[in-house]
Amino acid sequence: MQIIDGKLVSKTIREELSNKIKEAQERGVQFKLSVIIVGNDPASEIYVSNKAKGCHEVGILSETVKMSENTTQEELEKAILERVNDNSVTGILVQLPLPKHLDSQSALKLIPPEKDVDGFSDGNVGKLTLFKNDALFSCTPFGMIKLLEHYNIPLAGKHAVVVGRSNIVGKPMSLMLLNKDCTVTTCHSRTPNLADFTKNADILVCAVGKKHLITEDMVKDGVVVLDAGINRVDGKIYGDVDFDGVSRKASYITPVPGGVGPMTITMLLYNTYLAGINNETRRV
Ligand code: NDP
């Protein structure tokens, strides 16, 4: 059994990115990420500060636009549009969740797909569905694909079972695996007898948010397991997969923490790099 080390892969990707960014900057390409945060949610503040630190580490310019809890929809949309119309800004991200009085959907719609480094926009999801090369992918599933690639895990023809169908993790992961020639089954809360599906998985992806939903008896020998779940119980973090039991059968498995989690911000940096490169290509 091999542990998939997300911290190590993330470090490797950041080092590669840093070199690529330097090279691109030498030919005049700009990379700048604008992160808009509204209110004082402590968890969001930590995420935003980690995003800014990540940008600094790989050489991407970043700005954090801090707006008060009382920001109106109009003020938020104005701040987004200013960045949409600023050619020096290559990536825009609105930190979610927004305070309840704001309509996140209509705000996010203002970000054009080419600057949507979270990969959440209709345009990027459409491109992913159509298997277009210039899509910016949702960061957590994109990170899971990079982990599989890093460990040279064969995907074509494999049966991938994805548990969870959210718009930001499960659904895009299913599409990305389909794009990699897997045969994909997507399970969700209405799937009866989940184990009937998970037992047939060559690749098992969990993105549910339920501690230890997947146990040893629900998987087959040799399965590759990617666990995106983050479940905080009594100050400790657990995955959706019972690591101790399932790792007895798995050929590869991500731990929680230290597996999928470290990849998410790294893939945001990667998307910001791609957005800058795509912007250069459009200008030529
Ligand atoms: P959501 O709550 O949006 O989606 C959860 C999904 O799980 C839904 O599709 C739901 O089905 C399904 N589900 C719920 N219960 C069951 C069940 N008993 N059996 C099968 N499927 C079930 O969560 P997210 O996708 O946003 O996040 C999933 C997990 O990943 C969370 O723990 C979250 O914290 C973590 N996460 C980690 C990230 C990282 O950086 N590592 C980033 C984003 C999320 P239905 O659609 O029918 O309701």
Its pTM surpasses 0.85: yes
SS3 of 13, please?
A: helix
Specify whether domain 139-260 bears CATH 3.90.79.10. no
Average pLDDT, the chain: 97
Q: What is the mean pLDDT of residues 103-127?
A: 96
Q: What is the pLDDT of residue 284?
A: 59
List the structure tokens of 284: 């030529």
Question: How far is the centre of ligand 1, averaged over its atoms, from the C-alpha of 86 (Å)?
Answer: 35
The distance in angstroms from the start CA to the end CA of the chain is: 48
Catalytic residue among 5, 32, 95, 158: 95
| Per-residue confidence band for 283, with pLDDT thresholds at 50, 70 and 90 | low
Which residue has its alpha carbon closest to ligand 1 atom 13? 189
Q: Where do the structural domains in the chain lie, given as residue ranges?
A: 29-112, 139-260
Question: How far is the centre of ligand 1, averaged over its atoms, from the C-alpha of 190 (Å)?
Answer: 13
Q: Using alpha carbons only, how large is the chain's radius of gyration in Å?
A: 19
Ligand 1 atom closest to Cα of residue 264: 40
CA distance 28 to 204: 42
Question: How far is the centre of ligand 1, averaged over its atoms, from the C-alpha of 18 (Å)?
Answer: 32
Question: Cβ(95)–Cβ(76) under 8 Å?
Answer: no
Strand 252-253 to 2-3 pairing: parallel
pLDDT digits (tens, 9 = 90+) for 212-233: 999 999 999 999 999 999 999 9
Q: Is 118 part of the annotated catalytic residue set?
A: yes
Question: How far is the centre of ligand 1, averaged over its atoms, from the C-alpha of 57 (Å)?
Answer: 30
∠ CA(225), CA(173), CA(131), 5° rounding?
A: 135
Identify the CATH number of the domain defined by range 29-112: 3.40.50.10860
The yes-or-no answer to whether 29-112 and 139-260 have a common fold is: yes
CA distance 68 to 66: 7
Catalytic residue among 5, 32, 116, 118: 118
| Per-residue confidence band for 124, with pLDDT thresholds at 50, 70 and 90 | very high
CA dihedral 254, 255, 256, 257 (to 10 degrees): -110
Ligand 1 atom closest to Cα of residue 209: 32
Would you say the CB of residue 239 lies under 6 angstroms from ligand 1?
Answer: no
pLDDT digits (tens, 9 = 90+) for 145-190: 999 999 999 999 999 999 999 999 999 999 999 999 999 999 999 9
pLDDT digits (tens, 9 = 90+) for 49-90: 999 999 999 999 999 999 999 999 999 999 999 999 999 999
Q: What is the mean pLDDT of residues 182-200?
A: 98
